[in-house]
Amino acid sequence: GVETVVHAAALTANRKQPQRGAYDRVNRLGTENLVRAASAAGVGRIVLLSGLGTRAAPPGTYMATRWAMEETVRHSGIANVILQPSVLFGEGAEFVAALARLVRALPVVPVLGPPGLRFQPLWVQDLVTCLDRVIGDPGLDGRAIALGGPDHLTMREIVATIAMMTGRRPLLLRMPLALARVQASLLAVLPEPPLTPAALELFGFDNATARDAVARDFGFRPRGFRAHLLEHGLRG
């Protein structure tokens, strides 16, 4: 009796693998299992929540498992839509919460990635609005839709905004990805490390799309990152 399945189950890059190969088992194999079950049940559509910048990648990488999720859904034989949001902010969004913890704890905060690396933070409720409209609009079937907020921001700008909201003024120091990978490997012994090798894969490319991406496909202007934090604080 289910017409549409929304697939949002994944082991995300900010989480350490509980066992070796867990990213692949949960993300790729889990999606294959879901598609088989949906097909057997006669489900008409699948909506996958993926991520901006998902692309083919070498086997054994986190990105390869995310790409496998998309490819499995694309070739499922079931009508589908793939939503690819940028990093999220708002209630429950780990991206902002993790950076806020660093800002509060450290006098010097590392800024990962190259200087011009861009992000396009999207309010989680705007993502939900897009998701709701996708569920009700079969005209969007067969597409992978990139989603981002109205602003292109560097990581330094994002961290500086979060620091302003906490009332702290840490020194922001750019950390090359090569050094960050070494640090992530050392932190891997912790049960919940603040940085994972998988997460660093997402700092090698712009996490941004057209500023009008949401307005073009869904007819509304998403909420801005800075304006939202100024109005609602870090928890809102």
Give residue-wise pLDDT tens across range 122-158: 999 999 999 999 999 999 999 999 999 999 999 999 9
Q: Phi/psi zone of residue 164: left (φ > 0), alpha (ψ -120 to 50 degrees), beta?
A: alpha
Residues forming a β-bridge with 51: none
Model confidence, pTM: 0.92
Share of the chain above pLDDT 70, in %: 100
Query: What 3-state class would DSSP assign to 113?
Result: coil
* Confidence check: pLDDT of 164 > 90: yes
The confidence score (pLDDT) of residue 226 equals: 93
User: pLDDT-derived band of residue 9, with 50, 70 and 90 as boundaries?
Assistant: very high
Query: What 3-state class would DSSP assign to 226?
Result: helix
Taking only the tens place, the pLDDT of each residue in 81-117 is 999 999 999 988 888 888 888 899 889 998 988 888 9
Alpha-carbon distance of 195 to 179, in angstroms, equals 12
String of b and e for 38-56 (b: at least 16 CB within 10 Å)?
beeeebebbbbbbbbbbee
Cβ distance 34 to 8 under 8 Å? no
The confidence score (pLDDT) of residue 57 equals: 96
Helices (H), 9-108: 22-23, 30-41, 62-74, 94-105
Alpha-carbon distance of 91 to 7, in angstroms, equals 20
The confidence score (pLDDT) of residue 236 equals: 66
List, in order, residues 6 or more apart from 100 with CB less than 8 Å away: 162, 165, 166, 234
Taking only the tens place, the pLDDT of each residue in 19-44 is 999 999 999 999 999 999 999 999 99
